[in-house]
A = this chain, B = another copy of it.
Amino acid sequence: MRAEVVSVGTELLLGQIVDTNAAYLAKALSAVGVSVYRRSTVGDNMDRLVAALTTAFADNDIVVTIGGLGPTLDDITREGVAKALGDSLVQDDAIAANLSKFFADRGIPMTESNLRQARVPVHGRAIDNPNGTAPGLLFVKDDKIAICLPGPPNEFIPMVDDFVTPYLLEKTGNRGTIRSRILRVIGMGESSVEQIVKDLMHDDNPTLAPYAKIGEVHLRITARHDTAEQAEELVEERAALVRARLGRLIYGEDNQTLEQAVVSLLLDNGSTVSVAESCSGGLLAKRITDIPGSSRVFPAGLVCYSNAAKEDLAGVNPSTIEKHGAVSHEVAAELAYGVRKRFSTTYGIGITGIAGPDGGTEMKPVGLVFIALADAQGCKVERAHLLGSRSVVRTRAVQTALNLLRLSLLTQRH
Binding site for B on A (CB under 8 A): 10-20, 22-27, 30, 36-44, 48, 52, 55, 70-74, 105-106, 108-109, 111, 113-114, 131-132, 152, 154, 189-192, 194-195, 198, 201-202, 207, 209-212, 214, 220, 222, 275, 277, 280-286, 288-290, 292-295, 298-306, 308-309, 312-313, 342-343, 356-358, 385, 387-392, 394
A392 to B156, CA, bound (A): 13
- A212 cross-chain contacts in B, Cβ below 8 A: 70, 152
A288 to B390, CA, bound (A): 13
- A300 cross-chain contacts in B, Cβ below 8 A: 302-306, 308-309, 312-313
- Residue in B13, B201, B390 whose beta carbon sits within 8 Å of that of A74 in the complex: B201
Q: Which residue of B lies closest to A117 (CB)?
A: B191
Q: Which of A105, A131, A300, A303 has the most CB of B within 10 A?
A: A303
Q: Are B281 and A214 in contact, with the CB atoms below 8 A?
A: no
- A152 cross-chain contacts in B, Cβ below 8 A: 212, 214
Q: Are A73 and B303 in contact, with the CB atoms below 8 A?
A: no
- A211 cross-chain contacts in B, Cβ below 8 A: 11
- Residue in B23, B48, B108, B357 whose beta carbon sits within 8 Å of that of A189 in the complex: B108
- Residue in B18, B222, B285 whose beta carbon sits within 8 Å of that of A282 in the complex: B285
Q: Are B18 and A388 in contact, with the CB atoms below 8 A?
A: no
Q: Are A286 and B282 in contact, with the CB atoms below 8 A?
A: yes
Q: A59 → chain B, closest Cβ, in Å?
A: 9
Beyond A39-B40, A154-B214, A292-B356, whether A23 also contacts B27 by CB under 8 A is no
Beyond A39-B13, A42-B38, A285-B282, whether A392 also contacts B154 by CB under 8 A is yes
Q: Which of A52, A209, A305, A390 has the most CB of B within 10 A?
A: A305
Q: Which residue of B lies closest to A194 (CB)?
A: B72
Q: A394 → chain B, closest Cβ, in Å?
A: 8
- A387 cross-chain contacts in B, Cβ below 8 A: 131-132
Q: Which residue of B lies closest to A357 (CB)?
A: B292
A152 to B154, CA, bound (A): 29
- Residue in B26, B275, B282, B343 whose beta carbon sits within 8 Å of that of A283 in the complex: B282
Beyond A38-B41, A40-B39, A214-B154, whether A71 also contacts B13 by CB under 8 A is no
Q: A348 → chain B, closest Cβ, in Å?
A: 14
Sorted nearest first, the 3 A-B pairs with minimum C-beta distance are A281-B289, A282-B285, A15-B26
- A132 cross-chain contacts in B, Cβ below 8 A: 387
Q: Are B191 and A71 in contact, with the CB atoms below 8 A?
A: yes
Beyond A23-B15, A299-B308, whether A286 also contacts B283 by CB under 8 A is yes
- A299 cross-chain contacts in B, Cβ below 8 A: 305-306, 308-309
A131 to B194, CA, bound (A): 21
Cross-chain pairs A/B with CB under 8 angstroms, 14 sampled: A11-B211, A18-B23, A19-B22, A37-B48, A71-B190, A72-B194, A72-B210, A114-B191, A132-B387, A282-B282, A285-B286, A292-B357, A295-B305, A302-B303
- A111 cross-chain contacts in B, Cβ below 8 A: 191-192, 194-195
Q: Are B289 and A303 in contact, with the CB atoms below 8 A?
A: yes
- A18 cross-chain contacts in B, Cβ below 8 A: 18-20, 23
A74 to B191, CA, bound (A): 12
